Amino acid sequence: MDALATPAQLLVGGLLTGLVFALVAVGLTLIYGVMDVVNFAHGEYLMLAMYATLALALLGIGPLVGLPLVAIALFLFGIVVYRVFIRRLLAGPPEATVFGTFGMLVLLQGLAQATLTSDYQSIPNPPFHGTIRVGAIAVSQATLIEGIGALVLTAALFAFVEFTETGRAMRAVAEDRIAATLMGIDVQRINGLAFGIGAACVGAAGALLMLSYPVYPTVGAAFALTAFVVVALGGFGSIQGALVGALLVGLLEVFGGFYLSPELKLVPVYLAYLIVVLLRPQGLLGRR
């Protein structure tokens, strides 16, 4: 029994970590799927969302109440970014979107470093701090809430894209932009919505993460790198793929951190990325 306790503990930890990665990654994959843009600034959006949650918490609004507010704020931010910036990039050569979102990463990163302290900051009075025990497995309440919240929101996004009229329009644009235009779909509107929703997902993820993580100006980098790997593993543009990829990455990271060493925890993750893109570039669940 004891020999199995550690792997079981790691399994649960890995899956819960993976669920949060999934919520960060679905935003990225939705944006990519609809408009072929890899948002290199995605991690910085997460950083913005975490600081927004912190600010609300300092005003006395807890992360779970703050979550919809932060998600809406990021949604509006995403729409504005699409309208004034991404739309122009799409009109340029293909490299423009890589450079443009990279520029945005540098800009937001600089803003955070210039205006905020580089100290790690956590929310005052985190609402969940106990541990739940099931047999030999212990899970912190905060991590459990984060994982469940992320799963619910990821499922909600999937249902939205799969079953609503707007979601259908998004899939149509993803499939064939020109045909979608001919069917009377306003591609600019759909692109803007998709970018906004992608940002809202990472906004919600940021709010959830503040339950157990501290925020600091460069917090986005680690999450963004993981999100790229997740999205590539699952197949760029595939929401189910992102969920599967995220769970896999969560497990790799937690098991890697335990059996190798904490500083090597990302090594299996990156190796997995390289192996998958070389052997199966469309990702585990992607189609080409």
Write out the residues near another protein by the rule CB under 8 A.
38, 85, 88-89, 92-100, 102-115, 217, 221, 225, 228-229, 232, 261, 263-264, 266-267, 270-271, 273-274, 277-278, 281
Q: Which is nearer to another protein, 60 or 93 (CB)?
A: 93
Rounded CA-CA distance 218/171 in Å is: 33
Nearer to another protein, 49 or 232 (CB): 232
53's CB contacts (< 8 A; 6+ apart) are 63, 66, 67, 70, 123, 206, 207, 210, 215
**Least distance CB 226 / another protein (angstroms):** 11
In the complex, the smallest distance separating the C-beta of residue 69 from another protein, rounded to whole angstroms, is 26
Q: Which residues pair with 131 in a beta bridge?
A: 140
Rounded (10°) CA dihedral 240, 20, 64, 50 = -120
Shortest approach of another protein to residue 277 CB, angstroms? 5
> Beta-carbon neighbour count of residue 95 at 10 Å?
10
Q: Judged by CB, which is closer to another protein: 94, or 135?
A: 94
Nearest distance in Å: CB 4, another protein: 29
Both tokens of 91, joined, read 């009109």
- 57 within 8 A of 229, measured Cβ to Cβ: no
**CB closer to another protein, 2 vs 263:** 263
Contact 169, 190 (CB under 8 A): yes
CB of 63 to another protein, least distance (A): 26
Q: Which is nearer to another protein, 7 or 281 (CB)?
A: 281
Output the six-digit token pair for 194.
């998709």
Q: Which residues contact 279 (CB under 8 A, 6 or more apart)?
A: none
Provide, rounded to whole angstroms, the least separation between the CB of residue 44 and another protein.
10
Which of 177, 181, 233, 287 minimizes the C-alpha distance to 18? Answer: 233
Provide the residue type at 101 as one letter: T
Closer CB to another protein, 133 or 288, in the complex: 288
